[in-house]
Structure 1
Amino acid sequence: MDGTETGWGRPAEPAPRWRALLDRARHAGRSEEPEEAPKQPETPPQQQWNQQLPTRGSAAVGRPVNPLDPRQGQQPPPGGYEPQRPPAEPQRAVPQRPINPLDPRWQSRRENEPASPQQHSFFDPAPRSAPPPVQPPPAPAAQPPRDYGSAYPPSVRDYPANGYAQPPAAYAPQQAYPPAPAPPQPAPPQTVPPQMPPQPAPGRAPAPVSPAPAAARIEWRQTRSEDGLDRAVAIMRRKLGKPRVLAFANPKGGVHKTTATVLAAATVGSVRGRGVLAWDDNELRGTLGLRAGSARHARTIKHLLADLMRIESLHGDALLQELDAYLRHASDGSYDVLAGEENPRFAARLDQDTVRRVMDLLRRTHDVICVDTGNNVESVNWQTVMRSADQLVITTVPREDAAFTADWMLDVLEEGGQGAMVANAVTLISCPSPGNLPLLEDFKRHFATRTRAVAVVPYDPALEVGSSIEYADLQQETRQAWLRAASVMLEPFAE
């Protein structure tokens, strides 16, 4: 039947509520499929939704059937029973599942549904004929993800055309990502949607947003120690005007004259790169040639003096190549070494004129010449070197005998008319042992009153054995101290 007849062959009349309930109970077992509801007058979508919303405590909720009603099971009167419900009583809404618009099964189901599906009421009479069976939805095909043009959820227009003007409020998506105006040009699809800040509740003013703290700036500042080292290197790299001679002197033995001469030449040579020479001018068998430079040959100053006249006549590269045959070189090539003669009888040949000729020759090929003087202040070569030197360096250790000898030598030089050299001298104090040295501060204060500057170099275990001196084997603290000391020696001449 199509719903126009009641089942007794008479035209359809308004059936009372209990008749509709009996018909539904009688035909409930015939089909488990959803039954088609009779056509009802069209109602605007918004009004339909409002009518179907269950209202707690109102008449919109249907009353339950009373099974003890005596009218049940009796034949209806010819005119039928009057309906026992108010004329404007709304029908009870059928509970439905929440709609997930992103479920691919819902998209396939929406394609098979009619344009305007009808909702069935619990009190409507059931149709006599069962509706056609609903085909199961086909397996969803692999489809690319829908592009909504932004990171926001789909709007109302993306919901199925079920006659609703908007999705039910009970199943509306949460406003974690509120809708926003679309950009002028849609952004390309993103694999991971960007994280959106939470929006304030409607009707409430947004909280003030504090500006993000600026990224912390990491500034690198040089310490005083590093500033001093940079200044020391800059001084040693400057032009010196002319070749300079540094004389390391102290009549007392064992006060690190040879060590100071080698390390000063190595320090200046490591900065300037070339043109530095260490000369052993000890008339009593000095050891500078053994502790510095490579032993690629056994030539000393004695061999140089034998060919001095021929070498003096050379110039330019020829002079450099010829003189190089009589010099030794440091392992890193930073400075050259002119070794002294080991035979004590050779000292008689180092007269004043010979020492000056050798000094002039070395000045033609090198910029800085460090001379290790002997212990005899009365010898001719010692006095000649002192008159030719540009900078006097007094070497001592924090011991009373070493300081007394150094102080006495300064008096001798002042009496000999070299007071200007003494006033411009530099006192170099070497620490022979680690730890606190009780006389160190007293020595610094005393020699600061007699010389231009006082420099202190620390103890280093690499120098204790007395073997070959390698600048690279020194501790970092020792190398830094020698950088400062060497810069103090050359500072008056740096342009």
Structure 2
Amino acid sequence: MALDMPLPPHLSARLRADATGELRVDGNTETFAEATTERLREAMLWRVGQIAASAGHPVQLTVADDEGEWLLVVHPDGTIGDEEPLAASVAEPAPVAFLPRTAPERDSFLYVERPQPDRARQGVRGALARVGIPMAPSNAELQERAELDAVSRHWAGPRTIAIVNGKGGANKTPTTALLAAVFARNGGSGVLAWDNNETRGTLGWRTERDAHDATVQDILPATDMLLSAEARTADIGHFVHHQNADKYDVLRSNPTMLATEQRISSDDFDRLHTVATKFYRLVIIDSGNDESAERWLRMVDHTDQLVIATTALGEHAEAGALLLEALMQRDAHSARLARDAVVIVSQSERTGPASEVQRVAKGFEPLARRAVTIPFDPEMHGGRLAFERLSAKTRRAWLHAAAAVAEGL
């Protein structure tokens, strides 16, 4: 039977991430401290159940944590629900009329929809949902789910993303590797990070190496074989380096060779790109710094989504802005890439103010489709790049950046 009005006493609980909290009962405070947040919730709910049983009727409980505040009802038998059903009246069921069917028919056994209520999966809300309290996901969780869906998608046909900035040290290599990691870890295999740099490209230095030392120079003579009908999917493994944890492959340049010894013509690039898009659904290219090189210009011609990588340093940001303005004048395809570009601004110094990163991102808004920011993380500065080593805050920022890129694919 439904209740017509809320019943006292009215209780409120505050839960903290350090597994401490307070329960207020008509102005009196009881403190709790447990080993884990889950045990804290269980202890508080057990105490509220005691109060409801002693009162002989349901009690209202306002629960607050870092994600917000909501109202629950705890019944004397220990069951938990929300307030809305308690205020509703119960109508007598209408009589059911059984009418004869006019023709033989039946419902299909296939594709039966069984809608499930959407429950929180993260944080305190998720923990409460797992113990039976119907908690809806927060707005932050809903946004994260949408972004995970965006980066997990497979497109009809291959896509190419170019990471560009004519200034060295602007974070192109970390941007290439970490975007590749986000797409591969969530969307599955078929992601290639390609070092298209003829002047000391370091993508190979900052990623895992397989049992061979193959580079772009080794794959070029093999393009006809790889494009033949007899080529097998695994044959590409002779020339690329798989990242075991992050699930993408790397096509290295050779940083020990002079640029004059590893020039790649437009025709060479076309052949390499044809091979890459035969074996991979997503190709992410670390562009190098020479915007006049044939391989750089031909990369732009094959690009579906342009990404400007920059730090908050003025010279890096200015170089990225000048590049966008130059592409607007090159041809119609380049102009579209510039208008739809995503700018990823990374905080390169621990001591640099976050406001400066935001200021640079704001400055790119009139020039590009999106501008997003990445916080400082020591794991991005030197050594092998591995997504799992980044802080949770940095991983979340890279997911947000990758989702912005995916919008353009």
* Secondary structure class of the residue paired with 2:193: strand
2:386 is matched by which residue type in structure 1?
E
Q: CA deviation at 1:376?
A: 1.0
Rg (Cα) greater in structure: 1
Asked if 2 retains the 8 angstrom alpha-carbon contact of 1:292 and 1:468, the reply is: yes
Counterpart of 2:296 in structure 1 is 382
Counterpart of 1:286 in structure 2 is 201
1:311 is matched by which residue type in structure 2?
L
Counterpart of 1:437 in structure 2 is 354
Change (3 A) 1:468 1:248: same
Partners of 1:228 and 1:263 lie apart in 2 by 20
Asked if 2 retains the 8 angstrom alpha-carbon contact of 1:278 and 1:337, the reply is: yes
Counterpart of 1:274 in structure 2 is 189
What does 1:255-404 align with in structure 2 at a 5 Å threshold?
255-315=170-230, 318-332=231-245, 334-342=247-255, 343-345=257-259, 349-404=263-318
Asked if 2 retains the 8 angstrom alpha-carbon contact of 1:250 and 1:406, the reply is: yes
Count of matched residue positions in the alignment of Structure 1 and Structure 2: 282
Change (3 A) 1:263 1:347: farther
1:437 is matched by which residue type in structure 2?
A
Asked if 2 retains the 8 angstrom alpha-carbon contact of 1:397 and 1:429, the reply is: yes
* Secondary structure class of the residue paired with 1:234: helix
* 1:373-394, Cα deviation, whole Å (9 max, x unpaired): 0111111110000111000000
Higher helix share: 2
Aligned residue among 448, 451, 476 for 2:368: 451
Counterpart of 2:99 in structure 1 is none
What does 1:103-252 align with in structure 2 at a 5 Å threshold?
211-213=57-59, 214=75, 215-217=79-81, 218-252=133-167
Partners of 1:453 and 1:333 lie apart in 2 by 25
* 1:150-190, Cα deviation, whole Å (9 max, x unpaired): xxxxxxxxxxxxxxxxxxxxxxxxxxxxxxxxxxxxxxxxx
Counterpart of 1:90 in structure 2 is none
Asked if 2 retains the 8 angstrom alpha-carbon contact of 1:294 and 1:331, the reply is: no
Asked if 2 retains the 8 angstrom alpha-carbon contact of 1:284 and 1:347, the reply is: no
* Secondary structure class of the residue paired with 2:194: strand
Partners of 1:331 and 1:243 lie apart in 2 by 22
Aligned residue among 372, 378, 392 for 1:461: 378
Change (3 A) 1:463 1:306: same
1:481 is matched by which residue type in structure 2?
A
* 1:239-260, Cα deviation, whole Å (9 max, x unpaired): 3121110100000111110010
Gapped regions of structure 1 (runs ≥ 5): 1-208
Counterpart of 1:413 in structure 2 is 327
* Secondary structure class of the residue paired with 1:289: coil
Q: CA deviation at 1:475?
A: 0.9
Partners of 2:153 and 2:210 lie apart in 1 by 32
Structural RMSD (CA) = 1.8
Partners of 1:406 and 1:259 lie apart in 2 by 16
Is 407-416 or 341-350 further displaced after alignment? 341-350
Partners of 1:346 and 1:309 lie apart in 2 by 24
Change (3 A) 1:239 1:211: same
Partners of 2:364 and 2:163 lie apart in 1 by 16
1:428 aligns with 2:344: yes
Aligned residue among 469, 474, 485 for 2:390: 474
Give the TM-score of the pair, scaled to structure 1: 0.55
2:321 is matched by which residue type in structure 1?
D
Counterpart of 1:20 in structure 2 is none
Q: CA deviation at 1:314?
A: 3.6
* 1:408-467, Cα deviation, whole Å (9 max, x unpaired): 111211111221111110000011123523422321221111100111111112222x11
Change (3 A) 1:321 1:295: closer
Change (3 A) 1:481 1:373: same
1:432 is matched by which residue type in structure 2?
S
Higher strand share: 2
Q: CA deviation at 1:345?
A: 4.2
* Secondary structure class of the residue paired with 1:288: coil
Asked if 2 retains the 8 angstrom alpha-carbon contact of 1:279 and 1:339, the reply is: yes
Q: CA deviation at 1:372?
A: 0.2
Gapped regions of structure 2 (runs ≥ 5): 1-54, 60-74, 82-132
Q: CA deviation at 1:347?
A: 5.4
Q: CA deviation at 1:216?
A: 3.7
Asked if 2 retains the 8 angstrom alpha-carbon contact of 1:235 and 1:490, the reply is: yes
* 1:264-294, Cα deviation, whole Å (9 max, x unpaired): 0011100012000100000112010111123
* Secondary structure class of the residue paired with 2:408: helix
Q: Name the % identity.
A: 27
Q: CA deviation at 1:211?
A: 4.2
Partners of 1:482 and 1:294 lie apart in 2 by 23
Asked if 1 retains the 8 angstrom alpha-carbon contact of 2:377 and 2:394, the reply is: yes
1:429 is matched by which residue type in structure 2?
V
